[in-house]
């Protein structure tokens, strides 16, 4: 087995070509290959179909084996050898139709859009100003005076598991530091911890800030130290169009997992 490694905004993902695997489930691969301490410490695992006619097919699993849409991992997939070439690539990632774009900022992703996606009423009471949206997964964003001062392991889990959101939600805290510029930290379900950057969290936070601040372009300083940019068009009802998240991606190499991992 050859496991490819690539990163986006500080998060590291593993990639396997479907054609090179046996019939083991993607969730099983994720639970074996992702955990820190006993495997590779990945933020998620992708199974990729070889490019052909039509959209490129990707499937993502979180470290706990749950399937989800992952924007940063989808972006980083273009760094894997054998990925489709060209400036624009049509992709179906975990069932969501997206576009990937190579440009001078690295790789951008046009997030899922349509009637099912956009800002929604916040489904739970919060003491902090909050926004909520669906972007292939649920995202709760909270505005705080200082992201550095937030004890995220205390604040986030009760919100992540709140009964008002079936299946739970991702949680991000946002600190606006200048017009169109903010710091962000995120707690992701499936990982069940803080990650260096949640791309879908940045996207929904940008949509919410576009509504509250009147600016449609945002630059986020992430916990991993890399910036990502978000641009979008938001309508009065909270639906977005052409929501692009862009940032650097890196090919990290490939490894051959030891058979003992499967014991």
Q: What is the pLDDT of residues 226-240, one digit of tens each?
A: 999 999 999 999 999
pLDDT digit string, tens, across residues 33-50: 999 888 999 999 999 999
Among the residue ranges 22-36, 61-75, 117-131, 199-213, the one predicted with the least confidence is: 22-36
171 neighbors 187 (Cβ within 8 angstroms): yes
Instruction: State the CATH class of domain 118-245.
Output: alpha beta
Report the alpha-carbon distance of residue 135 to residue 72 in Å, rounded: 13
Report the alpha-carbon distance of residue 222 to residue 61 in Å, rounded: 22
Q: What pLDDT score does 190 carry? A: 82
pLDDT digit string, tens, across residues 148-196: 999 999 999 999 999 999 889 999 999 999 999 999 999 998 888 999 9
Q: What pLDDT score does 33 carry? A: 96
45 neighbors 11 (Cβ within 8 angstroms): no
Q: Domain residue spans in the chain?
A: 3-112+249-256, 118-245
User: Residue 23: pLDDT above 80?
Assistant: no
pLDDT digit string, tens, across residues 105-116: 899 999 999 999
Four-residue CA torsion sign, 117, 250, 229, 101? negative
In this structure, the strands spanning 227-234 and 118-120 are unpaired
Q: What pLDDT score does 138 carry? A: 95
pTM: 0.92
CATH number, domain 3-112+249-256: 3.10.310.10
- Give the three-state DSSP class for 124: coil
Q: What pLDDT score does 262 carry? A: 84
The two domains 3-112+249-256 and 118-245 share their CATH topology (first three levels equal): yes
Band of the pLDDT at 126, cuts 50, 70, 90? very high
- Which position has the token pair 């500080």? 10
Rounded to a whole number of angstroms, the distance between the first and last alpha carbons of the chain is 15
The alpha-carbon radius of gyration of the chain (Å, integer) is 18
Report the alpha-carbon distance of residue 129 to residue 67 in Å, rounded: 30
Band of the pLDDT at 213, cuts 50, 70, 90? very high
User: Residue 263: pLDDT above 80?
Assistant: no
Q: What pLDDT score does 254 carry? A: 96
Report the alpha-carbon distance of residue 104 to residue 106 in Å, rounded: 6
User: Residue 65: pLDDT above 80?
Assistant: yes
Q: What pLDDT score does 24 carry? A: 74
Beta-ladder partners of 221: 183, 227
Average pLDDT over the chain, rounded to an integer: 95
Q: What pLDDT score does 9 carry? A: 92
Q: What pLDDT score does 28 carry? A: 92
218 neighbors 230 (Cβ within 8 angstroms): yes
């Amino acid at each position: 087995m050859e496991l490819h490694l690539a990163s986006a905004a500080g998060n590291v993902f593993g990639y396997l070509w479907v054609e090179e695997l046996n019939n083991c489930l993607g969730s099983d691969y994720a639970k074996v290959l992702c955990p820190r301490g006993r495997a590779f410490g990945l933020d998620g695992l992708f199974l990729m179909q070889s490019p052909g006619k039509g959209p490129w097919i990707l499937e993502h699993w979180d470290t706990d084996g749950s399937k989800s849409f992952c924007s940063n991992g989808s972006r980083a997939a273009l760094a894997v050898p054998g990925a489709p070439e060209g400036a624009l690539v049509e992709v179906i990632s975990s069932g969501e139709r997206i576009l990937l774009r190579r440009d001078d900022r690295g790789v951008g992703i046009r997030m899922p859009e349509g009637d099912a996606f956009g800002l929604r009423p916040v489904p739970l009471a919060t003491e902090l100003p909050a926004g909520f949206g669906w972007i292939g997964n649920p995202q709760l964003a909270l505005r705080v005076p200082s992201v550095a001062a937030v004890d995220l392991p205390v604040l986030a889990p009760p919100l992540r598991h709140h009964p008002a959101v079936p299946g739970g939600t991702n949680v991000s805290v946002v600190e606006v530091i200048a017009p169109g510029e903010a710091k962000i930290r995120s707690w992701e379900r499936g990982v069940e911890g803080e990650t260096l950057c949640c791309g879908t969290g940045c996207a929904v936070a940008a949509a919410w800030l576009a509504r509250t601040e009147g600016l449609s372009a945002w630059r986020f300083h992430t916990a991993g130290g890399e910036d990502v940019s978000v641009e979008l068009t938001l309508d009065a009802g909270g639906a977005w169009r052409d929501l692009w998240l862009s940032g650097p991606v890196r090919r990290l190499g490939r490894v051959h997992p030891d058979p003992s991992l499967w014991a």
